[in-house]
A and B are shown apart, each in its own frame.
Chain A
Amino acid sequence: DAGVTQSPTHLIKTRGQQVTLRCSPKSGHDTVSWYQQALGQGPQFIFQYYEEEERQRGNFPDRFSGHQFPNYSSELNVNALWLGDSALYLCASSPNPNTEAFFGQGTRLTVV
């Protein structure tokens, strides 16, 4: 049983560009959340998707958007990249919105 899988594992983008990160949840999980983890810090909640809708959102600007597909997979899009967006982006899934979140390995985004 595959866990949470994310792609790509590493990515380098130029300031001002746009990026799309992808996540496939653990089998049987229908809730997907995205977190940003800057170097040396704990993960920070970006948003949660359930039933193809954004259900909760953290303190992130509108440049961060997402989508959930009928098969529960999800995308995170970031527009107009800043240098400060460089971080590890983590996807987490859970079998319902209020249980433990299982994390993927993350996508390391570097903005230059």
Chain B
Amino acid sequence: GESVGLHLPTLSVQEGDNSIINCAYSNSASDYFIWYKQESGKGPQFIIDIRSNMDKRQGQRVTVLLNKTVKHLSLQIAATQPGDSAVYFCAENLDYGQNFVFGPGTRLSVLP
């Protein structure tokens, strides 16, 4: 599985600005990807997903972009709010099933 350090990358944005969180995934054969938000003391919360036959998917205030050529995912959050402050994980599905491999996470800090 993934092995990451204790010091998460941090992204600080001003309230109202747009946020872009990036993730490099590991396996070119992965066909399903999810972005999760995790607040302190809580379990990961589903934000948005995308399958490998798409390159963009939009939700409410969020957009996920998938670039299979360079194995890169991004999560865009529009008009970032204080409630968006959390750790964000991308997760890839390597095969049929629930064996999701999580990225190292990015801490989003929203400044007033």
Interface residues of A (CB under 8 A from B): 4, 31, 33, 39-45, 48, 55-56, 58-59, 90, 92, 94, 97-98, 100-106
Say whether A41 contacts B43, CB under 8 Å: no
- Residue of A4, A56, A103, A106 touching B99 (CB-CB under 8 A): A56
A residues near B5, Cβ cutoff 8 Å: 40
Interface residues of B (CB under 8 A from A): 1-8, 32, 34, 36, 41-46, 49, 89, 91, 93, 95-105
User: Given the interface contacts A42-B4, A44-B1, A100-B34, does A105 sit within 8 Å of B42 by beta carbon?
Assistant: yes
Say whether B98 contacts A40, CB under 8 Å: no
Say whether B97 contacts A98, CB under 8 Å: yes
CA distance A39 to B100 in the complex (A): 18
CA distance A40 to B5 in the complex (A): 7
Shortest Cβ distance from B102 into A: residue: A42
B residues near A39, Cβ cutoff 8 Å: 6
Say whether A42 contacts B104, CB under 8 Å: yes
Shortest Cβ distance from B7 into A: residue: A40
